[in-house]
Amino acid sequence: MEEFSIRDGQQSDCLAIARFVNESSGGAADYLFAGASQTGSSAEAIVSELLAREVHYSYANTLVAQMEDKVIGAALSFPASGLLLNEQMKQYYSAQQFQYIQYFVDNKLKDSWHLDAICIDGECRGNGIGKHLLDAVKQQAKYYTFSVLEVFVFASNARAIRFYQHNGFVECKKIDASKHEFLNDKSPLVLMRCDLSSNN
């Protein structure tokens, strides 16, 4: 395995980060951004545009894993208080899509650091890069004095759930997402938390 490094995201990384965000979402990004573009842009292109300008949902809140000159992974995280809904956002989503986002907002853990997405290139998995990236997110959360890290994951994603469990996360609750007819994965969303005050 070649050497890799972890660094802060840059604006030039937005498209690569968007690809990892979309992959880690299990189809949720395609669902959320269906019909959001007047130009027919893909969900990946829309996410890239959002990452370039949003305050919380941003390249500036992303850590990337890089090998030589290629971004091979990304982790987008920010304070859970950044999970907000406002009237302006309604223009991008249908009522059903807006309700789906509301699940995240209503179920977030108070005063936690939110891991929105983490993903590694398929060919680079199984080499500890994901663990290093997650450890860097934990350090980032601790730096900003957060004692809890949260993540939402589909119950059907057994591999991701095992990964989080092996890295100190426990399940808090399950949230029904089956009402969303265009969402490919009908399994519940699992909210998991990691206590950063222990030695994780």
**Rounded (5°) CA angle 187-54-51:** 65
- Please state, as a whole number, how many other Cβ atoms lie within 10 Å of the Cβ of residue 144: 9
pLDDT tens digits for range 58-96: 999 999 999 998 999 999 999 998 776 666 566 666 777
CATH number of 86's domain = 3.40.630.30
Q: Supply the pLDDT for residue 37.
A: 47
What is the domain range of residue 64? 5-195
In a domain, 79, yes or no: yes
> How do 169-175 and 189-195 pair as beta strands?
antiparallel
Beta-carbon count within 10 A of 3 CB = 7
127: in domain: yes
- Is 179 inside any structural domain? yes
- Which of these, 104, 172, 164, 109, lies nearest to 134 by C-alpha position? 164
Q: Does any domain span residue 200?
A: no
pLDDT digits (tens, 9 = 90+) for 97-149: 777 777 777 778 889 999 999 999 988 888 899 999 999 999 999 999 999 99
Give SS3 for 49: helix
pLDDT tens readout for residues 18-47: 989 888 877 666 666 665 544 456 777 878
At 33 the pLDDT is 65
Cβ-based neighbours of 179, under 8 Å, separated by 6 or more? 96, 99
Distance of CA 162 to the CA centre of its chain: 17
Encoded tokens for 113? 């650091």
Say how far apart CA 80 and CA 83 lie, in whole Å: 5
Q: Is residue 35 part of a domain?
A: yes
Instruction: Quote the pTM value.
Output: 0.85
Closest by CA position to 62, among listed 105, 23, 116, 101 = 116
Establish if 98 belongs to a structural domain.
Answer: yes
Number of Cβ within 10 Å of residue 85's Cβ equals 14
Number of domains in the chain: 1
The amino acid occupying position 187 is S
**pLDDT given at position 55:** 76
Q: Is residue 96 part of a domain?
A: yes
Q: Any bridge partners for residue 173, and if so which?
A: 191
Residue 46 inside a domain? The answer is: yes
